[in-house]
Amino acid sequence: MPKKWKVVFITIGRKWFIILIVIIIIVAIYNPIAAIWMSGITLALFLLSFIPELFFKNKLHKFLKKFYKIEDELIARKFNKPLKKIRDELFELSQNQEKKSWLITFLNKQYIFYHQETIEKYMEVYNKGYSEKEILDNLKDYKVNTRAEIKVIKENLIKLNRLSEREISVKEHKEKQRFL
């Protein structure tokens, strides 16, 4: 059973805003100017609490651009942050990626970030009519290792309307390769 002082701090931590409003109302009854000052300071501190989050998002985005492919567990280790926080950030980024050049996918219970060059190379070989195996062989330099990744990339690009029709079908490409 947790110690009583820990329980008190957790309860205060959860209800800090309500407690603060009650204190400001009590102070406002006796000294309205002090209540205005307390409200202003509280609002300023509340707004300042968002600044570290903004710095983290910018730092995360710059960090992700250094890799062709990176998984959420490696990101969490590099930043010394909880995996849940990294996954929440990657989830938010993945929700707004229609017009982005990079791609974030969710595969095998983990988020994977793919760099712009990786996606461009994928689209290039996809449009040439390559099969999944040939696409995988061409993307080995970009750290893409499994066919499941190829499938997830394709599904996400189609879902985001970023993948156009193939210039040459897989069947036509195989026939060309056979006669060469």
In order, the DSSP letters of 51-79 are HHHHHHHHHHHHHHTT-SEEEHHHHHHHH
pLDDT tens for each residue of 70-89: 999 999 999 998 999 999 99
Instruction: Report the C-alpha gap between 92 and 88 in whole angstroms.
Output: 6
- DSSP-derived letter for residue 140 is G
Query: Residue 75 contacts by C-beta under 8 Å, 6 or more apart in sequence?
Result: 60, 63, 64, 86, 90, 113
Burial of 71 (0-12, 13-18, 19+ CB in 10 A): middle
- DSSP-derived letter for residue 180 is -
- Which among 102, 71, 98, 103 has a CA at the least distance from the CA of 87? 71
Could you tell me if 83 and 94 are in contact, meaning their C-beta atoms sit under 8 angstroms apart?
no
For each of the chain's 180 residues, which pLDDT tens digit applies? 457 777 776 676 667 777 788 888 888 898 889 888 988 888 887 788 778 777 888 898 899 989 999 999 999 999 998 999 999 999 998 998 888 889 999 999 999 999 999 999 999 999 888 888 999 999 999 989 999 999 999 999 999 988 877 777 777 877 777 776
Instruction: Report the C-alpha gap between 178 and 137 in whole angstroms.
Output: 18
Could you tell me if 170 and 130 are in contact, meaning their C-beta atoms sit under 8 angstroms apart?
yes
Could you tell me if 99 and 144 are in contact, meaning their C-beta atoms sit under 8 angstroms apart?
no
The pLDDT of residue 103: 93
Could you tell me if 115 and 178 are in contact, meaning their C-beta atoms sit under 8 angstroms apart?
no
Could you tell me if 71 and 87 are in contact, meaning their C-beta atoms sit under 8 angstroms apart?
no
For the chain, give every domain's residue range. 4-49, 53-173
Tally the C-alpha atoms within 13 A of residue 124's C-alpha that lie toward its C-beta: 8
